[in-house]
C-alpha cells in the first residue's frame, strides 16, 4: 500500500482534469431480472469519462500485522482504463466509482487488523466540484475489535448527497505493526455518485423482497445499495445459504470473491473530534 501523502499530487491532478464533467449522469434502465435466481451479478454502468474517479480500492501487500497478510480494501468496483496523452503517450488509470440512491450512503471496507494494531481510523468525504474543494464530512472512526468487513455510513447530520454530483471519499488507517516504529498511514479512496432510479425501477423495488432488491440494484449498476441490502441480510440470516450465495456472487462479479468468507464486524461508530 503506497503512502497516502505520496499520491496526493497524482490524485489532485486527475481530479482537477475532470472537473469540467463532474456532473455525470449515466443512463440507467430498469433491467429485467430473474427474481427467483440465486445468482447475483453486478452489471457496471459506464464509468465517468476521461480521468474522472481515479482512486485506489487497496490490495497491496500487508506490512506483516494484518490477518493472513491481507490488506485494507474497499468493497467497490474498479475500472481499468488507458487515457491518451499528448504527444503519443498513454497512461493507465484505475477508476474507483459506484452509484447509490441513498441520501446518506453506506460504505463497506475490509479491515485486516486487530484493534490493538490500529492507532487511528478516519473517514472523509469531499465535494471537489469547485475550487477549493469542500470537505462535507470528516470523522474519527472507532476501529473494529477483530479483522473483518465493516460499514461506515454518512450520518444524518451530514448534508445530503446531491443527485448527479461526484463525491470523493477516503478511509485512512494508521497501522502500528511495530511499537518501536512510527505508525504507518494506509488508505483507500474512491468516488460515489447519487442517482434517482427511473420510475420503472422504483416501482419494481417497491414490490420486491429485500433479496430481490439486491438483484435489481446489482443488475441496474447501483453498487452501494446492492451491497448494503445483501450485507444486512447476512446479519439477519447468517445461516441462510441463498443469502450467502448472493453475497458471494455479488463480490465475485467485481473481483472480490476472496473476501466473501470474511466475517461482518459490528463496529465503527464515529468518535468525532
Q: Report H helices in 170-209.
A: 199-207
pLDDT confidence band for 13 (50 / 70 / 90): very low
> Per the domain annotation, does 250 fall within a domain?
yes
Q: Model pTM?
A: 0.83
CA–CA distance, 35 with 51 (Å, rounded to integer):
36
pLDDT of residue 129: 87
**Residue 29 domain-assigned?**
no
In sequence order, which residues have a C-beta less than 8 Å from that of residue 62 and are 6 or more positions away? Answer: 1, 69, 70, 71, 112
Residue 112 lies in a domain: yes
Specify if 264 maps to a domain. no
Mean pLDDT of 135-143: 94
Tell me the pLDDT of the chain averaged across its residues.
Answer: 83
Mean pLDDT over 154-177 rounds to: 94
In angstroms, the CA 230 to CA 126 distance is 27
Residue 32 covered by a domain: no
pLDDT for res 178: 77
In a domain, 121, yes or no: yes
Q: Is residue 166 part of a domain?
A: yes
Local confidence band at 10 (pLDDT 50, 70, 90 cut-offs): very low
| pLDDT class of 271 with cuts at 50, 70, 90 | low
Name, of 51-60, 89-98, 138-147, the range with top average pLDDT. Answer: 138-147
pLDDT at 16: 38
| Lowest mean pLDDT, pick from 11-15, 32-36, 159-163 | 11-15
How many domains are contained in the chain?
Answer: 1
| Strand-pair partners of 188 | 171
Q: Which three cell numbers stand for residue 104?
A: 446518506
CATH number of the domain within which 183 lies: 2.60.40.1930
Distance CA 95, CA 52 (A): 7
Mean pLDDT of 21-42: 53
Instruction: Give the model confidence (pLDDT) of 202-228 as tens digits.
Output: 999 999 999 999 999 999 999 999 999
Beta bridge partners of 8: none
**Amino acid 241: pLDDT:** 95
Reported as a single tens digit per residue, the pLDDT across 41-88 is 999 999 887 667 889 999 765 555 665 668 999 999 999 887 776 777
Asked if the structure places residue 157 within a domain, the reply is yes
Confidence band (pLDDT; 50, 70, 90) for 183?
confident
Residue with cell 479491515: 111
Q: Give the domain extent around 161.
A: 4-22+39-259
* Alpha-carbon gap, residue 149 to 189, rounded angstroms: 16
Amino acid at each position: 500500500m503506497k503512502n497516502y501523502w505520496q499520491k496526493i499530487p497524482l490524485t489532485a491532478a486527475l481530479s482537477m482534469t475532470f472537473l469540467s464533467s463532474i456532473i455525470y449522469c449515466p443512463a440507467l434502465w430498469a433491467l429485467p431480472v430473474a427474481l427467483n435466481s440465486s445468482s447475483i451479478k453486478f452489471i457496471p454502468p459506464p464509468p465517468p469519462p476521461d480521468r474522472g474517479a481515479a482512486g485506489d480500492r487497496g490490495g497491496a501487500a500487508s506490512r506483516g500485522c494484518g490477518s493472513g497478510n491481507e490488506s485494507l480494501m474497499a468493497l467497490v468496483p474498479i475500472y481499468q482504463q488507458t487515457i491518451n496523452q499528448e504527444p503519443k503517450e498513454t497512461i493507465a488509470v484505475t477508476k474507483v466509482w459506484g452509484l447509490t440512491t441513498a441520501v446518506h450512503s453506506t460504505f463497506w471496507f475490509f479491515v485486516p487488523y486487530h484493534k490493538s494494531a490500529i492507532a487511528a481510523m478516519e473517514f472523509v468525504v469531499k465535494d471537489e466540484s469547485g475550487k477549493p474543494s469542500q470537505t462535507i464530512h470528516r470523522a474519527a472512526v472507532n476501529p473494529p475489535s477483530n479483522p473483518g468487513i465493516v460499514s461506515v455510513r454518512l450520518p444524518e447530520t451530514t448534508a445530503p448527497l446531491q443527485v448527479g454530483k461526484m463525491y470523493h471519499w477516503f478511509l485512512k488507517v494508521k497501522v502500528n505493526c511495530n511499537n518501536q516504529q512510527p505508525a504507518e498511514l494506509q488508505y483507500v479512496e474512491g468516488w460515489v455518485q447519487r442517482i434517482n432510479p427511473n420510475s420503472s425501477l422504483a416501482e419494481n423495488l417497491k414490490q420486491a423482497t429485500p433479496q430481490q432488491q439486491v438483484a435489481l440494484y446489482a443488475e441496474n449498476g447501483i453498487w452501494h445499495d446492492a451491497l448494503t441490502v445483501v450485507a444486512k441480510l447476512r446479519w439477519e440470516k447468517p445461516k441462510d445459504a441463498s443469502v450467502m450465495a448472493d453475497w458471494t456472487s455479488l463480490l465475485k462479479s467485481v473481483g472480490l470473491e476472496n473476501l466473501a468468507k470474511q466475517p461482518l464486524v459490528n463496529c465503527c461508530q464515529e468518535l468525532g473530534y
